[in-house]
C-alpha cells in the first residue's frame, strides 16, 4: 500500500492521516496516432502523480493523490471514433463535488495535475474560488514543466509526438505498437496568421488538421528518452507538491 495514493489506502490508516494537499490527475480518452493507446494521457498523469507523490511523501509532505479523471475536453474531435468528450460545464460540476468534500473535511488545498492540452481549468477555478473562498485551488500542466528540447530530437509536436511516445514506451511498453506503423504526425496550420502565431485562438478541427490524429513526428522516440524525461518532470512536479503542502494559506505572497 502506498499511503499517499487514495485508491490504495484504507480507512484504518487514513482516518488519522494528516492531509495538507489533495492532488487530482485529470486526463482524457482519445486517439493518439496509430501506435499509442487511447488512455495515454491517463497513464502519463497517473504515473507522474504517483512518482512525484512518492518523492513528496518521502520529503514528509502530507499529500493524497486522488483517482485520475479519465475524460477531458475533446470538443474538436467529435468525428474521431470513441474520443470521449467531457464538456467544460461537466468538468465544473465534477470539480465542484470534489471540492465540496475537501472543503467540508478541512482539506483546503487542491492541485489539478492536468495531462491533456484540451483541458482549461482557469475559468472553472475562478468560479469555484468564489463559491469556496477558503479553498486554494490550482492546476499545472505537467507537460509544460520541462523544456522538451533538452530531451527530444523533434520537440515541436503536442500530441502522440516523440515525447509522449517515449513516455509510454517507458511506462507501458506493451501498449505501444511498432513505430514503423505510426503516422508521421504531420499537422496542417491555419491560413490565418494571427491563429498561427497563437495570439488569437480558435479550436482545431482535428480530422482536418491531421490524418493520423497525431501532431508531431514520433519515430525517433525511445524508452530511454522517456525515462530521462519522466525523471526530470516528476522531480520538478514533486517540488510543487511539497511547496503547496507546506504553504501557509494566510501568508502566500512575498
Nearest Cα neighbor of 13 from 4, 21, 22 is: 4
Average pLDDT over residues 35-63: 98
Q: What is the pLDDT of residues 73-116, one digit of tens each?
A: 999 999 999 999 999 999 999 999 999 999 999 999 999 999 99
Q: What is the pLDDT of residue 235?
A: 98
DSSP the chain: --TTBGGG--HHHHTT---SEEEEEE--B--BTTTB-TTHHHHHHHHHHHHHHHHHHHTT--EEEPPPB--B--TT-TTSTT-BB--HHHHHHHHHHHHHHHHHTT--EEEEEE--TT---HHHHHHHHHH-TT-EEEEEEGGGSS-GGGT-SSTT--BSSHHHHHHHHHH-GGGPPPGGGS--------SSHHHHTTSS-----HHHH-SSS-BS--TT--HHHHHHHHHHHHHHHHHHHHHHHH--TT----
Average predicted confidence (pLDDT) for the chain: 97
Q: What is the pLDDT of residue 165?
A: 98
Q: What is the pLDDT of residue 16?
A: 95
pTM for the whole structure: 0.96
Q: What is the pLDDT of residue 167?
A: 98
In the CATH scheme, what architecture does the domain 6-246 have? 3-Layer(aba) Sandwich (3.40)
Q: What is the pLDDT of residues 191-248, one digit of tens each?
A: 999 999 999 999 999 999 999 999 999 999 999 999 999 999 999 999 999 999 999 9
How do the domains of the chain map onto residue ranges? 6-246
Q: What is the pLDDT of residue 142?
A: 98
Give residue 216's region: left, alpha or beta (phi > 0; psi -120 to 50): left
Amino acid at each position: 500500500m502506498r499511503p499517499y495514493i487514495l485508491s490504495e489506502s484504507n480507512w484504518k490508516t487514513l482516518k488519522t492521516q494528516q492531509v495538507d494537499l489533495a492532488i487530482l490527475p485529470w486526463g482524457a480518452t482519445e486517439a493518439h496516432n496509430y501506435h499509442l493507446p487511447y488512455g495515454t494521457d491517463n497513464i502519463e498523469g497517473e504515473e507522474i502523480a504517483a512518482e512525484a507523490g512518492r518523492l513528496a511523501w518521502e520529503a514528509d509532505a502530507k499529500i493524497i493523490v486522488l483517482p485520475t479523471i479519465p475524460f477531458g475536453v475533446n470538443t474538436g474531435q467529435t468525428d474521431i471514433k470513441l474520443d470521449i468528450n467531457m464538456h467544460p460545464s461537466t468538468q465544473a460540476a465534477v470539480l465542484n463535488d470534489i471540492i465540496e468534500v475537501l472543503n467540508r473535511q478541512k482539506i483546503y488545498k487542491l492541485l489539478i495535475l492536468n495531462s491533456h492540452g484540451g483541458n482549461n481549468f482557469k475559468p472553472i477555478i475562478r468560479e469555484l474560488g468564489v463559491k469556496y473562498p477558503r479553498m486554494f485551488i490550482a492546476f499545472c500542466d505537467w507537460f509544460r514543466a520541462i523544456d522538451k528540447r533538452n530531451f527530444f530530437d523533434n520537440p515541436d509536436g503536442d500530441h502522440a509526438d516523440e515525447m509522449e511516445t517515449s513516455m509510454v514506451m517507458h511506462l507501458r511498453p506493451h501498449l505501444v505498437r511498432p513505430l514503423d506503423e505510426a503516422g508521421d504526425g504531420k499537422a496542417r496550420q491555419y491560413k490565418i496568421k494571427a491563429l498561427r502565431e497563437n495570439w488569437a485562438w480558435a479550436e482545431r478541427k482535428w480530422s482536418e488538421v491531421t490524418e493520423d490524429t497525431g501532431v508531431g513526428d514520433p519515430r525517433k522516440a525511445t524508452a530511454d528518452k522517456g525515462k530521462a524525461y519522466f525523471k526530470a518532470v516528476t522531480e520538478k512536479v514533486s517540488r510543487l507538491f511539497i511547496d503547496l503542502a507546506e504553504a501557509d494559506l494566510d501568508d502566500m505572497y512575498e
